[in-house]
């Protein structure tokens, strides 16, 4: 099955808490972004039509990576929200000859531990009738009990980093959305344009994943069970976890 990859990497990673964007943090064998793309390029022989990496306008790091010379990889400049950055990536796919009904896999530049097995499961889901109709995303059932916190005002006088419980959210049927998320080029473009229009209205906000934009137009994407190792590097502890996962995979490959 032919597909394109869009890798949004234009975020500033403010929650990570250091100067450099988190996608350029070092891991064994390469930076976070290089690991994020590796599983796609390993499978590149047949089905991959091309990769578009979406960069911040001030990015000077990407061009220094060997990946920048890869024949299937091109770059474009992102926007103020993830949705705007992905939309810029979709424009670049179209400019490279992508057809409206072709699949685009959107994968966070900050997820360095995607496995070949997860990628295979996602692509297999796209061949099912539900996948064909609305696309699919990797996701994980929520294991912890989930609490909603009260607003900060309800915590008046308390320690700012502590929160007060407002409610327990039943976790039945709740999944955490991971990436890649796969949708057809035309459908995802229409959904993100719609989402950004709504976000521009007073009180509106941009969607935090692609599936949310598809759902808003009535789509029902497939949830494909992913791996708990497919971590998004958001905090320094996530980087340590990712390093451990990659080291143990490299170790296993050496012993195979």
Nearer to ligand C5P, 26 or 167 (CB): 26
Here's the x/- map for ligand C5P, 18-57, by CB under 6 A: it reads as -----x------------------------------x---
> What dihedral angle (degrees, nearest 10) is formed by the CA atoms of 204, 206, 212, 214?
100
Q: How far is the CB of 153 from ligand C5P (least distance, A)?
A: 26
Q: The dihedral of CA 54, 60, 62, 68: what is its sign? A: positive
CA pair distance 125, 136, nearest whole angstrom: 7
Nearer to ligand C5P, 131 or 137 (CB): 137
Q: How far is the CB of 171 from ligand C5P (least distance, A)?
A: 22
On the 0-12 / 13-18 / 19+ scale of CB atoms within 10 A, 183 is buried
Under the criterion CB under 6 A, does residue 109 sit at the interface with ligand C5P?
yes
Under the criterion CB under 6 A, does residue 135 sit at the interface with ligand C5P?
no
> Which one-letter DSSP state was computed for residue 61?
S
Q: How far is the CB of 205 from ligand C5P (least distance, A)?
A: 13
From candidates 6, 9, 195, 223, binder to ligand C5P by CB under 6 A = 9
> What dihedral angle (degrees, nearest 10) is formed by the CA atoms of 37, 38, 39, 44?
90
Helices and strands, number each (H, E), in the chain: 7, 11
Under the criterion CB under 6 A, does residue 82 sit at the interface with ligand C5P?
yes
Name the residue with tokens 């934009």: 213
Under the criterion CB under 6 A, does residue 6 sit at the interface with ligand C5P?
no
Name the residue with tokens 């929520």: 142
> Which one-letter DSSP state was computed for residue 19?
S
From candidates 104, 110, 178, 245, binder to ligand C5P by CB under 6 A = 110
Under the criterion CB under 6 A, does residue 238 sit at the interface with ligand C5P?
no
Sites of contact with ligand C5P (CB under 6 A)? 8-11, 23, 54, 78-82, 85, 108-110, 234
């Amino acid at each position: 099955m032919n597909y394109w990859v869009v890798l949004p990497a234009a975020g500033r990673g403010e929650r990570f808490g250091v100067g450099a964007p988190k996608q350029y943090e070092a891991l064994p064998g390469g930076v976070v972004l290089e690991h994020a793309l590796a599983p796609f390029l390993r499978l590149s022989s047949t089905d991959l039509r091309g990769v578009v990496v979406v960069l911040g306008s001030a990015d000077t790091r990407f061009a220094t990576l060997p990946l920048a010379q890869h024949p299937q990889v091109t770059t474009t400049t992102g926007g103020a929200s993830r949705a705007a950055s992905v939309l810029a990536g979709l424009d670049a796919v179209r400019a490279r000859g992508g057809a409206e009904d072709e699949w685009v896999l959107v994968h966070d530049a900050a997820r360095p531990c995607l496995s070949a097995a997860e990628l295979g499961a996602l692509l297999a889901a796209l061949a099912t009738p539900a996948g064909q109709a609305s696309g699919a995303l990797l996701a994980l059932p929520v294991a912890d009990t989930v609490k909603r916190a009260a607003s900060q005002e309800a915590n008046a006088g308390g320690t700012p980093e502590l929160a007060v419980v407002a409610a327990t959210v039943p976790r039945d049927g709740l999944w955490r959305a991971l990436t890649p998320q796969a949708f057809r080029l035309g459908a995802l473009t229409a959904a993100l344009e719609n989402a950004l229009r709504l976000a521009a209205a007073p009180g509106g906000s941009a969607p935090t994943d692609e599936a949310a934009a598809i759902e808003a137009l009535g789509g029902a994407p497939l949830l494909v069970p992913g791996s708990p190792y497919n971590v998004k590097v958001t905090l320094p502890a996530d980087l340590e976890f990712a390093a451990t996962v990659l080291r143990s995979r490299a170790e296993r490959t050496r012993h195979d």
